Amino acid sequence: MIKLIVEVHDAGDLMPKDGDGFASPFVEVDFDQQKQRTRTKPKDLNPHWNEQLVFNVTDPRDLPNKTIDVVVYNDRKAGHHKNFLGRVRISGVSVPLSESEATVQRYPLDKRGLFSNIKGDIALRIYAVQDSSSAPQPQQQEYGDVETGTAKTSSVEIPQMFSPPPLQEINGNTHRMMDEEAEHHHMAEKMMKKKKEQEVRTFHSIGTGGAAASSFAHAHPPPSSGFGFETHHQKAPQVETRTDFARAGPGPGAATVMHMQGPPRQNPEYALVETSPPLAARLRYRPGGYTGDKTSSTYDLVEQMHYLYVSVVKARDLPTMDVTGSLDPYVEVKLGNYKGLTRHLDKNQNPVWNQIFAFSKERLQSNLLEVTVKDKDVLKDDHVGRVLFDLTDVPVRVPPDSPLAPQWYRLEDKHGVKVRGEIMLAVWMGTQADESFSDAWHSDAHDISHVNLASTRSKVYFSPKLYYLRVQVLEAQDLVPLDRSRAPDTYVKVQLGNQMRVSRPSQVRTINPIWNDELMLVASEPLTQEVLVIAVGDKIGPGKDDLLGMVYLPVRDLPQRLDHHKLPEPRWFNLQKPSLAGEQESEKKKEKFSSKIHLRLCLDAGYHVLDESTHFSSDLQPSSKHLRKANIGILELGILSAKNLLPMKGREGRTTDSYCVAKYGNKWIRTRTLLNTLNPRWNEQYTWEVYDPCTVITVGVFDNHHINGSHEDARDQRIGKVRIRLSTLETDRIYTHYYPLLVLTPSGLKKHGELQLALRFTSTAWVNMVAQYGRPLLPKMHYINPIPVRYVDWLRHQAMQIVAARLSRAEPPLRREAVEYMLDVDYHMFSLRRSKANFQRIMSVLSGVTMVCRWFDDICTWRNPITTCLVHILFVILVCYPELILPTIFLYLFVIGLWNYRFRPRHPPHMDARISQAEFAHPDELDEEFDSFPTSRPSDIVRMRYDRLRSVAGRVQTVVGDLATQGERAQALLSWRDSRATAIFIIFSLIWAVFIYITPFQVVAVLLGLYMLRHPRFRHKMPSAPVNFFKRLPSKSDMML
């Protein structure tokens, strides 16, 4: 006899049901009209059962068609009632056929209906084995509900060591199987309710008789190609008390195939981790009074890091050290093993350096600071003089105090004797809130040259202000083609910087062409440097064009349009001949005759130039500052630290030189680069003004490849990024979490570490923030005069390129690869993985509609008679008092929203590998996603992908055809394509019109509702007459080739 083993391990995060915030759960497993249950775990939301339930498989060949129904209940001792806590349905197809292949799987608990509030998951291990014992036929099992109950089992070969599984997701069960199993489960429940239960019951699992097993083994030998069970020697029957509860342990085994209704839970490694760092904002107020540090209130979202600052300003009256009477001075600032150098100045006895050095207090190795002035020589540098400072005497400066005034110090020789020369210094203890912090030389960058030191400093950048440039090409006159014997085929080419757009050819092939075409480009400030070039060309043949004239227009002279009411008047411009395009203006004026072009030009300042996707945009303000609204709040970001970063320079003998970039609105920030560490601590805080709460801040982590003389073409490597939507943050609350840094690579999803951030969103205008939810997302110009769809993606790409080029020219540069990664420049490219993820999102949205339909079907089939009767009563009340329909709906929405407030998200959202379909993406799909455009893969791979796309498109084509068929059948009701069907429909329409006219509406509604909710004994499985009539209507599918 074949046995089905269901090992119930544990459950987690169950829904409290007893009113005290707890539940007493037990598990009930139903398989093939056999029902067993585990013990009850009192007052435990994370119970551990570690029990094995054994079921008989009467026909192994029918096992793939069976369903294992696992239901978790809350045991209510009073009245022997039980509350539903969730269920899992597992198809028999997914059951492994041997113990070695079975692994522990975690299944998310599903709802029973629309109104169920369910959460948590359950760990199960399910497999089938061959029973080697002889036992009597299974009797009616008893149920135990106490923790101390004993369980007796037959000697079925059941393993004692459980192995942790890799999670794998396969398609869910079909709706037909789920409905049949649900109905079977319901009937079994009703049978069990009729039986009386005892106060204390003991769980037994009794095996089957040996005769039955032996007859089955001889009559039906197990096929080797099917389930793969082998015949075992029979053993003497024995019944023993089961003590082999599950113990976790390693063990090999293939991933178990599951049929589940939902996708598996995300890997905990990719989850958010809440932290509690000692931030001043949290420590400021405590019960019993003020305990925080008042001086840290302006820099309170990061941990304070103390630094010793040394400002080397200048020196005077230094002695000459060379034979030639010259001096090439520089300053060496030394503290323990750390040593910082200023630049040396040639032949200067009164040098000025103005350099600041910062030494981390955590790494101080000495209590003595030594500032030495030296003379740069070829062989050995000469000692000019020095100044010593005892760190115990160094003052402490706390912003917003004014900067410490530098003082003159007399130089001493190595023996402490005063020598000629003085140096101006300022030495103080401060924190990272000091204004000198960003420009200082840091002790952790002691091996960086002065040339590359700038690439390690923290900076703030601003994106250039962008405008849409609209060019309407109307017509031209008196064009002079080179070949006058043929009609010219003219077009207009518009160029602005690296952007180029070409109009459509003129429909009239004459020397006075008319285009009436509109082109759009992106212009950036400063506008004084932008020149618009418009050229008229004549297309002679493939790859051969003649230039008929050009015109140069400074962008600063173009009018700006702030609203949609009126476009500027078009103007005529003289076209310059190509031979005169480079000559002086005075020579151009000598030309008495010239061709003309009619243009309407303007800078649309009422739009917001999209440089990132609208789904996670950080700025929605119009280009013109006159149209912008006041800010509604402040966003504060503390970039604290990172841990477990991936070594990006392992081949070079280093680890990682990491820095962070954050982007919100037009403001970009870059932290300092921390060298050669996998656990950097930045502790830098930045602030942005917020104009719209429905925006997203993006924070990325990169590895700096431009230190110590790296090549200019070297690219900073991406480590990962995080997006946080401001509307998901509560105002005035501090969020501190470790965010996983996930990067999708051609080899799969990789976790490159974790980034710790502190966030606080403060509302300064609460009424304006609430009113913002009722306003359009984009400026009104986007809705009144929308941008053509064919231009949107191209304009966004050009805006991204302009921003990347402008920021890469800053000092230190924010490099193009970092900007493109932050702006998701390749987000619009095709990805099969992303397409699957979007499809799953659609199915998740439609799952609510499916649940409503199933609930309504349960009502119509009287699955729960009490609920159905209540729905009947509510339906009659709403029909008799229709004015209560809308209040009831909105009251229901209010109650549901209020109920769900308890289960609101406690953490901000982050990159979800499960929703992105990235954790188990196929390698070929990733290779296709990272392929260049156009493709660079071999032809056989491209052919395979094309065939795959055709197969998917064929299914989509079938679905679209079915939808079209249903719509055409609806149209055929009155189109007389089928004259008999149309006649029947209009006659019935007339009859129904008369009947509804003479019958009160409430009566019609009640009769119709009662007919739809009729009892199952008045139903039959054949489709109704209206459905049959509709399916017989003609469509146009038979007219297609």
Residue range 8-22, pLDDT digits in tens: 999 988 888 877 778
Q: What is the DSSP string of 429-487?
A: EEETTSTTTTTSEEGGGTTS-HHHHGGGS-EEEEPPPEEEEEEEEEEEES---S-TTS-
Cβ neighbours of 467 (radius 10 Å):
25
Is 90 exceeded by the pLDDT of residue 311? yes
User: DSSP string spanning 753-781?
Assistant: EEEEEEEEEEES-HHHHHHHTTS-SS-TH
Q: Mean pLDDT, to the nearest integer, of 454-479?
A: 91
Element (H, E) at 76: strand 67-76
Residue count of the chain: 1041
Q: What integer pLDDT is reported at residue 263 of this predicted model?
A: 47
Find the range with the poorest average confidence among 234-238, 530-534, 879-883, 1034-1038: 234-238
Supply the pLDDT for residue 661: 96
pLDDT at position 660 is 96
Give the tens place of pLDDT for each residue, 977-1030. Answer: 899 999 999 999 999 899 988 888 888 888 888 888 888 888 877 888 888 999
CA 700 to chain CA mean position, Å:
13
Give residue 228's pLDDT.
37
Distance CA 600, CA 520 (A): 12
* CA-closest candidate to residue 154, choices 175, 174, 133, 173: 133
Give residues with Cβ within 8 angstroms of 574, minimum separation 6: 551, 594, 595, 596
Of the candidates 435, 449, 295, 451, which has an alpha carbon nearest to the alpha carbon of residue 356? 435
- β-sheet bridge partners, residue 84: 73
Q: State the CB neighbour count (10 A cutoff) for residue 989.
A: 12
Asked whether the bond before 812 is cis by omega within 30 degrees of 0, the reply is: yes
Paired tokens of 813: 């540069």
Is 297's pLDDT higher than 70? no
DSSP reduced 3-state for 411: strand
At what angle are helices 832-860 and 865-880 packed, to 10 degrees? 90
Q: Which residue has the tokens 């982590």?
A: 701
Closest CA to 461 of 668, 279, 615: 668
Average of per-residue pLDDT across 228-252:
37
pLDDT recorded at residue 256: 34
Of 475, 473, 505, give the one whose Cα is nearest residue 601: 473
Find the Cα–Cα–Cα–Cα dihedral 841, 842, 846, 847, rounded to 10°. -30
Return the pLDDT at 392: 87
pLDDT for position 219: 37
Burial 631-651 (b: 16+ CB within 10 A, else e): bbbebbbbbbbbeebbebeee
**pLDDT exceeds cutoff 90 at 761:** yes
Cα distance between residue 414 and residue 417, in whole Å? 7
pLDDT at 212 over 90: no
pLDDT for the residue 861: 86
Q: How many other C-beta atoms are found inside a 10 Å radius of the C-beta of residue 221? A: 10
Cα–Cα distance between 500 and 497 in angstroms, integer? 8
For 519, the token pair is 């082109």
pLDDT 10s digits, 813-843: 899 999 999 998 888 888 888 888 888 889 8
Q: Which residues contact 26 (CB under 8 A, 6 or more apart)?
A: 37, 38, 39, 40, 41, 72, 73, 75, 145
From the list 184, 225, 810, 81, the residue with the least C-alpha distance to 462 is 810
- Among 453-457, 739-743, 929-933, 996-1000, top mean pLDDT goes to 739-743
Q: 395: cis peptide before it, omega within 30°?
A: no
Exposed/middle/buried for 295, CB within 10 Å: 0-12, 13-18, 19+?
A: middle
Sign of CA dihedral 347, 348, 353, 359: positive
Q: How many Å apart are CA 340 and CA 441, to the nearest integer?
A: 8
pTM of the entire predicted model: 0.69
pLDDT higher than threshold 50 for residue 621: yes
Over residues 366-421, the pLDDT tens digits come to 889 999 999 888 778 888 999 999 988 899 887 777 888 999 999 998 888 888 89
Mean pLDDT of all residues belonging to the chain: 81
Are 930 and 834 a contacting pair, CB within 8 Å?
A: no
Per-residue pLDDT band for 643 (boundaries 50, 70, 90) equals very high
Q: Give, in order, the Cα–Cα distances in Å from 385 to each of 317, 343, 814.
A: 12, 17, 40
Could you tell me if 596 and 575 are in contact, meaning their C-beta atoms sit under 8 angstroms apart?
yes
Query: 450 burial class (0-12, 13-18, 19+ CB within 10 angstroms)?
Result: exposed
Using only C-alpha atoms, the chain has a radius of gyration, in whole angstroms, of: 39
Whole-Å CA distances, 627 to 333, 621, 630, 766: 52, 8, 10, 21
For residues 669 and 687, give the distance between their C-alpha atoms in angstroms, rounded to a whole number: 10
Sign of CA dihedral 197, 198, 201, 207: negative
605 close to 790: Cβ distance less than 8 angstroms: no
Higher-pLDDT residue of 708, 48? 48
Q: Is the pLDDT higher at 798 or at 453?
A: 798
Q: Which tokens hold the place of 604?
A: 């649309």
Cα–Cα separations (whole angstroms), residue 485 to 480, 481, 482, 511: 11, 9, 9, 12
For residue 476, report the phi and psi dihedrals to the nearest 5 degrees: -140, 160
Q: Is the per-residue pLDDT at 575 higher than 70?
A: yes
